[in-house]
Amino acid sequence: MSYGVFATNTPVRFNSLEFRDGQQSMLATRVKTKDMLPFLERMDKIGFENMEMWGGATFDVCIRYLNDDPWERLRKFKAVMKNTPLKMVCRGQNLVGYKAYPDDIVRRFITAAARNGIDIFLIFDALEDLRNCETAFDAALQAGKKVEGSIQYNISPFHTDKLRVQNALEQQKMGAFAIHIEDMAGLMTPGGAYALVSEMKAALDIPVYLHCHCTGGMAEMCYWEAIRAGVDGVDVTTSPLGLGPSLPAVESLIAALRGTPRDPGIDLSLFNSLNNDFKALRKKYAENASELVGVDVGCLQHQIPGGMLTNLESQLKAMNAFDRLPEVLEEAIHVRADMGYPPLATPSSQMCGQQATTNVLTGKRYGTISKEMKEYCRGMYGKAPGPLNPDLVKKALGDESPISCRPADLIPAGWDQAEKEVGDLATCEEDVLTYALFPTVAPAFLEEKKKQLENVHKYKVERIDKKK
């Protein structure tokens, strides 16, 4: 049987995203560590290139909603995953938060993440302003870990494949061992995937990975064309956490590649028990499951990524306004244009979605502007791809002028202050970092964590006394 021409005959590599983007897109990131652990030993035997299981929204959700220590999650994964490198997605200077942090916090956080088990740091900036990635890149490389550079795929008057390749070449110079093309909103077309991957492979000396969401209904076709063009690997989930606003299913790709020059040689039977258990997991977290199933061709206009769609969905439901989601998505098109067409990755996606929601629910565009949007207009998130709407900038800043330097240059060191403020609530360096990143949310989490540790210690002491 003929499968057409492949640019290379090397087996396709698969990156596992069930416990990061899979659950973020399908289950609002609400899966607890204890429900992930039973899967790990089996998944470690499959032959994934790596497992992305940390960073992104997982850190925030752990401490905000789940009372689940993200650092402990990482250590527990590392204890089981002996064959599969662990990866985190890191928002450059924003780390796992929604604003730029001081350089000393960035360095300490990256070092701590490496120490606790992260092998690969997938580092990106929402605006693709590489000044916001410099410190994180350097810290990860200094820790002896790999850095995966990232291109945030976006369609606008200011984004071309030529510029994407130039950006990727800069990241290669910065030390990236691979480049990750992220189509977070499901915008890419099959022809576009073939063309971009072909150009990347011709220009770069490092592997190229592709990440597409199924929102627009073209992700599997994009993967096939990218595989024909020579892409080294693709991001996947097992089928119960795939499709819809999530990623393509790995089982389908394994079956499609069987017998081709790029066959990864993975045994499909390895997924039998896993799929049954992932189905049970979805049922357990049904109240958090996204209703955005099937294809949403509207993503080609609003460009909001899968994870952000489910966040908007849950937020509007909480305000009894879910019926207004179509209006919010329509408004997001206008807001994104006024923001200078940023790729809608975190945190620009949150800013755009939040502002669009506020505009719709108040009935007045920019009558209320969030603190984050004001900082964006000020330039504290970096340089936007295109010019901002002057009316938005005027309403956000008044007579203040935007900055032009690297944003983090204006942020004073933060470690000493965080250590002083958190006080006795912190039992280790990781606790101080948790507080430094989320000072309004972390105290309640750390207080409960400390209480639990004290109870465990008390129990152990009582057991020792009884034995005596």
More confident residue, 311 or 445: 445
Q: How far is CA 194 from the centre of its chain?
A: 24
Q: How far is CA 345 from the centre of its chain?
A: 8
pLDDT band at 301 (very low <50, low <70, confident <90, very high): confident
For CA atoms 134, 136, 137, 141, give the dihedral sign: positive
Burial class (CB in 10 A: 0-12, 13-18, 19+), 420: exposed
pLDDT band at 461 (very low <50, low <70, confident <90, very high): low
Same domain, 394 and 428: no
CA angle 78, 48, 44 (to 5 degrees): 45
Same domain, 73 and 58: yes
Residue 194 phi/psi, 5-degree rounding, is: -60, -45
Does residue 200 form part of some domain? yes
Same domain, 21 and 92: yes
DSSP 393-430: HHHHHTTPPPP-S-GGGGSPP-HHHHHHHHGGG-SSHH
Give the three-class secondary structure for 460: helix
Same domain, 277 and 200: yes
Residue range 7-50, pLDDT digits in tens:
999 999 999 999 999 999 999 999 999 999 999 999 999 999 99
Residue range 144-173, pLDDT digits in tens:
999 999 999 989 999 999 999 999 999 999
CA distance 18 to 277: 13
DSSP-assigned beta bridge partners for residue 393: none
Same domain, 374 and 462: no
Omega within 30 of 0 (cis) for the link into 347: yes
Give the three-class secondary structure for 142: helix
Does residue 294 form part of some domain? no
Residue range 365-408, pLDDT digits in tens:
999 999 999 999 999 999 999 999 999 999 999 999 999 999 99
**CB-based contact 369:396 (threshold 8 Å):** yes
Q: Which of 409, 442, 457 is the last residue of a domain?
A: 409
**CB-based contact 332:48 (threshold 8 Å):** no
Same domain, 326 and 442: no
Q: Given this model, what pLDDT does residue 457 score?
A: 61
Q: Given this model, what pLDDT does residue 459 score?
A: 57
Domain interval for residue 137: 13-288
Same domain, 249 and 117: yes
CATH code for the domain in which residue 245 is found? 3.20.20.70
CA-nearest of 51, 60, 48, 62 to 87 is: 51
What domain count does the chain have? 3
Cβ-proximal residues to 13 (8 Å cutoff; 6+ apart), any chain: 49, 209, 232, 233, 234, 264
Same domain, 254 and 109: yes
CA distance 267 to 202: 32
Same domain, 218 and 363: no
Burial class (CB in 10 A: 0-12, 13-18, 19+), 313: middle
pLDDT band at 2 (very low <50, low <70, confident <90, very high): low
Q: Which of 228, 253, 288 is the last residue of a domain?
A: 288
Give the three-class secondary structure for 331: helix
CA-nearest of 445, 464, 6, 433 to 201 is: 6
**CB-based contact 322:353 (threshold 8 Å):** no
Residue 180 phi/psi, 5-degree rounding, is: -115, 115
Does residue 3 form part of some domain? no
CA-nearest of 324, 329, 342 to 300 is: 329
Q: Given this model, what pLDDT does residue 379 score?
A: 96
**CB-based contact 155:305 (threshold 8 Å):** no
Q: Is the pLDDT confidence value at 468 over 60?
A: no
Q: Given this model, what pLDDT does residue 305 score?
A: 74
Does residue 1 form part of some domain? no
Same domain, 307 and 278: no
CA distance 154 to 343: 5
CATH code for the domain in which residue 395 is found? 1.10.472.90
Same domain, 228 and 355: no
CA distance 150 to 11: 22
Same domain, 322 and 377: yes
Task: Output b/e per residue, 317-339; b: 16+ Cβ within 10 A.
Answer: eeeeeeeebeebbebbbbbbbbb
Q: Which of 242, 263, 288 is the last residue of a domain?
A: 288
Does residue 6 form part of some domain? no
**CB-based contact 90:138 (threshold 8 Å):** no
Does residue 5 form part of some domain? no
For CA atoms 124, 138, 170, 384, give the dihedral sign: positive
Does residue 7 form part of some domain? no
Going by their DSSP bridges, the two strands 50-55 and 86-90 should be labelled as parallel
Angle of helix 219-229 relative to helix 250-257, nearest 10 degrees, comes to: 40
Going by their DSSP bridges, the two strands 13-16 and 50-55 should be labelled as parallel
Q: For residues 407-428, give the mean pLDDT.
A: 97
Does residue 183 form part of some domain? yes
Give the three-class secondary structure for 89: strand
Q: Given this model, what pLDDT does residue 313 score?
A: 82
